[in-house]
Amino acid sequence: MEPDAAITDTIAAIATPPGIGGLAVIRVSGPQALEIADRTFHGRGEPPSRRPAGTFVHGRIVSADETLDEVLLLVMRAPHSYTGEDTIEIQCHGGLVPARRILRAVLDAGARAAEPGEFTRRAFLHGKLDLAQAEAVLDLVHARSERAAAAALRQLEGSLSSSVQSIYDETAQALADVEALLDFPEEDLPEHVLASLPQRVAAVIEDIEGLARTWDEGHLLREGALVVISGPPNVGKSTLLNLLLGRERAIVSHVPGTTRDTIEETLVLEGIPLRVVDTAGLRETTCEVERAGIRRARRELSSADLHLFVLDCSRPLEQHARDELAALPAARTIVVLNKQDLGCVLTPADLPSGYSAVSTSLLQGRGLEDVRRALGLVLERHVDLHQSPHAVVSERHRELLQRAGAEMRGALDLLRAEHADENLVLAAEHLRSALENTGRVIGRTWTEELLDNIFSRFCIGK
């Protein structure tokens, strides 16, 4: 689909978050942006539409002879703006009232209220960003750690786009060659082109799969790793949550069964956002509320990326707890042998094999650093913490890349077959489909529905 050349309306929105602040910004973009500025802005000298791009002008926004606020107005001209259109940004005093009144005045002067993500959508339609870059804007706004923000910024700068673009170009070249071969009369087929194709296609498959593998890391950076604290009652799970957070979030008491509802909090470890969940102690009980809590705990357990399984080491390991532990994946579980100060009857040797353990005495805060280090080690299996942040794919990209990879494999099988020259029509079809899927990652091919889906997750004003 070609970019929509017929954007004729001008959109406006408050770009800053609601609430009290020093400044608020109203953004106006589209063909009438400067005209609307002239109608609403009163200042000395030339009207905004006659000002050079990149200038800030001081003045007042006036509507129906009433001054709404004293403002600074920034003039940007197409194509040198975020959206690629004529754009003005009005900086007014913070707080909701001035910004809302100015927005109203701008709408009265001919603009339309922007939909979520519509500025970035226009930037995409005007070729200022490709789709992967536009999505990076969303990731950057939502980034929960510095590492996540750095990865989003790399993607915005085009690191993912350029990898995908080169996969796209290689695929397009292979397709062009196959199509050219189809046009040759059989006897004149340039054998060397046909002979080199499987190797080239295989190389592209490797690139596609390498890129798709970064999803694991992307998922952790975007959504955060879900770390679930579980174990029998009264072993120190809530104590551990509080220590990790550095504040008294969950109630700690000597009464077994204190925690009922799941408690989720976020923190950042090694630049990776973590969602840490404290859960009700796992045990047989007749208490209805506690049982509801245990059901919730089990729900969290099933979707956890990482487990902290806490045990009281001053007591022997009961069969029930052993079974609970054995149900957790060893490679993603850290056993915390707590209450070392009470003397140890339970040691790492008593655990089912394959589980790594950390000894703590959380009441004194002892061993907390070891827990953090162990968490970091498990995370490192998913994210290369020593490598500088790089582009990582999202769920949408992974799906498309996997489809492209499967199509490329289909083509490869046909091209490697004994009478490959007879398979060229089918191989071309696979390559075309791979090309289309790869193109969707960066928006070389798109549909309105796809754009709606992506941009509706943005906030208004972005």
Ligand X SMILES: Nc1nc2c(ncn2[C@@H]2O[C@H](COP(=O)(O)OP(=O)(O)OP(=O)(O)O)[C@@H](O)[C@H]2O)c(=O)[nH]1
What is the DSSP secondary structure assignment for residue 5, as one 8-state letter?
-
Which of Mg ion, ligand X, none does residue 158 bind (CB under 5 to 8 Å by kind)? Answer: none
Between 48 and 231, whose beta carbon lies closer to Mg ion?
Answer: 231
Site track for Mg ion across 358-397, x = CB under 5 A: ----------------------------------------
User: In the numeric block, which tokens belong to residue 345?
Assistant: 């009857």
Which of ligand X, Mg ion, none does residue 461 bind (CB under 5 to 8 Å by kind)? Answer: none
d(CA 85, CA 6): 12
d(CA 251, CA 234): 11
User: In the numeric block, which tokens belong to residue 4?
Assistant: 């929509």
User: In the numeric block, which tokens belong to residue 306?
Assistant: 């990482």
Between 197 and 297, whose beta carbon lies closer to Mg ion?
Answer: 297
Contacts of 78 (CB under 8 A, 6+ apart): 84, 85, 86
Site track for Mg ion across 123-142, x = CB under 5 A: --------------------
Instruction: Give all strands of the β-sheet with 56-63 in edge-to-edge order.
Output: 41-43, 56-63, 66-76, 87-93, 23-29, 11-14, 112-113
Between 237 and 462, whose beta carbon lies closer to Mg ion?
Answer: 237
Length of the chain counted residue by residue: 462
Which of Mg ion, ligand X, none does residue 342 bind (CB under 5 to 8 Å by kind)? Answer: ligand X
The CB-of-318 to ligand X minimum distance in angstroms stands at: 14
SS3 124: helix
Phi, psi dihedral angles at 432 (to 5 degrees): -65, -40
CB-based burial of residue 414 (10 Å sphere; 0-12 exposed, 13-18 middle, 19+ buried)? buried
Between 309 and 458, whose beta carbon lies closer to ligand X?
Answer: 309
Q: How many helices and strands (H and E) does the chain possess?
A: 15, 13
Between 258 and 445, whose beta carbon lies closer to Mg ion?
Answer: 258
User: Exactly one of 81, 155, 238, 242 binds Mg ion (CB under 5 A); which one?
Assistant: 238
Q: How many CB atoms lie within 10 A of CB 182?
A: 13
The H-or-E segment that residue 194 falls in is helix 191-213
Between 102 and 310, whose beta carbon lies closer to ligand X?
Answer: 310
Between 30 and 232, whose beta carbon lies closer to ligand X?
Answer: 232
Residue 338 found at the interface with Mg ion (CB under 5 A):
no
Between 29 and 239, whose beta carbon lies closer to ligand X?
Answer: 239
Chain residues binding ligand X by CB under 6 A are 233-239, 252-254, 256-259, 281, 338-339, 341-342, 361-363
Which of Mg ion, ligand X, none does residue 375 bind (CB under 5 to 8 Å by kind)? Answer: none
Between 182 and 292, whose beta carbon lies closer to ligand X?
Answer: 292
Q: How many CB atoms lie within 10 A of CB 76?
A: 21
CB-based burial of residue 442 (10 Å sphere; 0-12 exposed, 13-18 middle, 19+ buried)? buried
Which of Mg ion, ligand X, none does residue 363 bind (CB under 5 to 8 Å by kind)? Answer: ligand X
The CB-of-3 to ligand X minimum distance in angstroms stands at: 56
Amino acid identity, position 419: H
Which of Mg ion, ligand X, none does residue 145 bind (CB under 5 to 8 Å by kind)? Answer: none
The CB-of-281 to ligand X minimum distance in angstroms stands at: 3
The CB-of-260 to Mg ion minimum distance in angstroms stands at: 9
Between 12 and 308, whose beta carbon lies closer to ligand X?
Answer: 308
The CB-of-286 to ligand X minimum distance in angstroms stands at: 16
User: Exactly one of 163, 259, 360, 438 binds Mg ion (CB under 5 A); which one?
Assistant: 259
The CB-of-25 to Mg ion minimum distance in angstroms stands at: 45
Which of ligand X, Mg ion, none does residue 235 bind (CB under 5 to 8 Å by kind)? Answer: ligand X
The H-or-E segment that residue 163 falls in is helix 159-183
Name the segment binding Mg ion (CB under 5 A); options: 166-174, 206-214, 251-259, 287-295. 251-259
User: In the numeric block, which tokens belong to residue 18?
Assistant: 């609601």
Name the maximum alpha-carbon separation found in the chain. 87
> Which of 227, 222, 225 minimizes the C-alpha distance to 142?
222
Q: Dihedral sign, CA of 109, 114, 120, 125?
A: negative
Which of ligand X, Mg ion, none does residue 37 bind (CB under 5 to 8 Å by kind)? Answer: none
The CB-of-334 to Mg ion minimum distance in angstroms stands at: 18
The CB-of-232 to ligand X minimum distance in angstroms stands at: 7
d(CA 460, CA 299): 34
Residues near Mg ion (CB under 5 A) are 237-238, 258-259
